[in-house]
Amino acid sequence: MTARNDSDSIEAARQRLGKRLVILAHHYMSDAVARHADYTGDSLELSRRIPDLDAEYIVFCGVFFMAETAAILAKPGQKVFIPEMNSRCVMSDMAPAWLARNVLDVLAAGGLHVTPLTYVNSSAAVKALVGERGGSVCTSANAKVMLEWALAQGPHTLFLPDVRLGLNSADWVGLPKELRHILDIREHGKAIMLEKARQAQLLLWPGQCVIHSRFKPESIRKARAESPGCKVVVHPECHPNTVALADACGSTSFIIKYVAEAPEGSVIYVGTEWNLVNRLAGQYKGVKDVRPLLYSTCSNMEKVTEPNLACLLENLDSSPCVEVDEALIPPARMALTRMLEVCAGPASRHA
Ligand code: 13P
Ligand code: SF4
C-alpha cells in the first residue's frame, strides 16, 4: 500500500471541485500550504477578495479571525472553512468583546465620545461592537489612513487590540505623544483613569503580538554591525523603537514588494514571521541576501499544515464550517465595509 500523498490529494480535490472551491492563504503560511492557494495575500488583500468570490467553498489558510472575517463578508450560501479551527491569533484574544464593551461603556459614562478602531486581528464580536459604535476596522496595510479617518470622526479614538500598531500609526499621522494614552483595562475597565483619557485624542488597548515583540532595536544594531550597508524592513506590529531604527515598515505585502524592489546584491534583514522570510530568502537566493532579523514563528499560523488541508478537502461536506452568530454579522460587516470603502484605492505604504 502506498502512503497517502497530501499534495496529490489536495490537487485531486481541487480538480474535483473546480470553480466551487477557492483556497486563500496568508503570507505566513508554510510553502507546503501556500503552493496550493488560488490567492495569497496580506490580511487587507485577502479581505478585499471575499466580496468578489463566487465559489461555494472558501477555504482560508491562516488564523481564525481571518476565516471569521471571510465568513462575515461572504455571500449567503457560501461556506468558509479553516483547516485548523484552533489556529488562534494570540493578540486578537487579548481583547475579549465583553471587556471591550465594558471599556467603551466606562468611557461613555465618563462623557467621552469615542470612535473605536479595531485592528482586523480581532474577533467577530469585537468587530460587531465597533460597528455598532460607529467605528471601523484597519489592517497593517491601511492603519495610517484608517486612523486619520477615525480621528476625524470625533474627539477620541480607541485603537485596539495592538498597542504597537496604534503607536506606529500615531507616529505616521504625526499625533503628538501627549495626546496618546494607553488604557489600564484591569478590574473589568474600572481602573481606567478618566482624566488622562479625557486629555488624550488616541486611547490605546494594551495588546501586542508576541512574535513581533521579539524584534528589538538591539537586533537591528547587531544586523547593521554584521553587514554594514544592509537594509532592514519590519512589520508595524514591532515596537516603535524598533520601527524607528528600520529603513522601512509595512504589512507583509509591503515587505514582499520592498524586497522585490531592492537592488541586486542587497542584504535585507526582515523583521516578521519566519515562514515569509524563509520564502523570500529562497526566492531571491543568489540574487539578494534576505535574512531573518531574528528567528520568530507564529505557532498558530503553523497549525495549518498540508495534511490538515488535505484532510479538510477530502471531508468538506462533513466538516464544520466557520459560523458567525447571525446577530453579529450586520454590525461586523458594517465595520468592515466602512474600511473597504475608505480604502477603496491602492493600499497605503509606510517607509
Ligand atoms: P498583515 O496585515 O501584514 O497580513 O499581517 C497580519 C498579521 O497577523 C501579522 O502578524
Ligand atoms: Fe496574531 Fe502575531 Fe500570529 Fe500575526 S503573528 S497571527 S498578530 S499572533
* Ligand 1 atom with minimal separation from the 251 CA: 3
Separation of alpha carbons 293 and 115, rounded Å: 36
Distance CA(284)–CA(144), nearest Å, equals: 30
Decide if pLDDT at 322 tops 80: yes
| DSSP character at residue 54 | -
Mean per-residue pLDDT over the chain, rounded: 96
Q: Hey, whose CA ends up nearest to atom 8 of ligand 1?
A: 121
Give the distance (Å) from ligand 1 centre to CA of residue 233: 14
How much is the pLDDT for 44? 87
Residue whose Cα lies nearest atom 4 of ligand 1: it is 42
Reported as a pLDDT band with limits 50, 70 and 90, residue 346 is low
Choose one of 24, 27, 28, 215 to mutate for the ligand 1 pocket test, by most ligand atoms within 8 angstroms of C-beta. Answer: 28
pLDDT at 2: 47
**For 275-313, how does the pLDDT look when each residue is reduced to its tens digit (9 = 90+)?**
999 999 999 999 999 999 999 999 999 999 999 999 999
- CATH annotation of 92-209+331-342: 3.40.50.10800
Residue 349 has pLDDT above 60, yes or no: no
Give tens-digit pLDDT for 168-216: 999 999 999 999 999 999 999 999 999 999 999 999 999 999 999 999 9
Identify the bridge partners of residue 189 per DSSP, sorted by sequence position: none
pLDDT at 264 over 90: yes
| CB distance 162 to 207 below 8 Å | yes
User: Residue whose CA is closest, atom 3 of ligand 2?
Assistant: 298
Task: Give all strands (DSSP E) within the chain, no chain letters.
Answer: 21-26, 39-41, 57-61, 79-81, 114-119, 136-138, 156-160, 180-182, 202-204, 231-234, 248-249, 267-271, 289-292
Binding site membership of 122 for ligand 1 (Cβ less than 6 Å): no
Q: In what order do the strands lie in the sheet with 289-292?
A: 248-249, 231-234, 267-271, 289-292
Centre of ligand 2 from the C-alpha of residue 12, in Å: 31
- pLDDT band, residue 330 (cuts 50/70/90): very high
Residue of the CA atom closest to atom 6 of ligand 1: 43
- 39: which DSSP letter? E
Ligand 1 contact, 169 CB (< 6 A): no
Q: Is the pLDDT of residue 94 over 50?
A: yes
Question: What is the three-state SS of 149-206?
Answer: HHHHHCCEEEEECEHHHHHHHHHHHCCCHHHEEECCCCHHHCCCCHHHHHHCCEEECC
Cβ of residue 192 lying under 6 Å from some atom of ligand 2: no
How far CA 291 is from CA of 227, 241, 271, in Å, comes to 11, 20, 9
pLDDT confidence bin for 80, thresholds 50/70/90: very high
The model's pTM is: 0.95
Q: How far is the CA of 273 from the centre of ligand 1 (A)?
A: 9
pLDDT at 70 exceeding the cut of 60? yes
C-beta 208 within 6 A of ligand 1: no
The fold of the 212-292 domain, in CATH, is Rossmann fold (3.40.50)
User: What are the cell numbers at 231?
Assistant: 537594509
Strand blocks (E) in 27-144: 39-41, 57-61, 79-81, 114-119, 136-138
Ligand 2, atom 2: closest residue by C-alpha: 209
How many Cβ atoms sit within 10 Å of the Cβ of residue 102?
17
Whether 78 has a pLDDT exceeding 80, the answer reads yes
Higher pLDDT, 229 or 4: 229
Per the rule left: phi > 0, alpha: psi between -120 and 50, beta: everything else, 218 is: alpha
pLDDT for residue 1 is more than 80 = no
182/163 Cα distance (integer angstroms): 8
User: Over pLDDT 70: what percentage of the chain?
Assistant: 97
Q: Where in the chain is the domain with CATH 3.40.50.10800?
A: 3-88+301-320, 92-209+331-342, 212-292
> 26: CA distance to ligand 1 center in Å?
8
pLDDT digits (tens, 9 = 90+) for 119-172: 999 999 999 999 999 999 999 999 999 999 999 999 999 999 999 999 999 999
Spelled out in words, what is the top-level CATH class assigned to the domain 3-88+301-320?
Answer: alpha beta
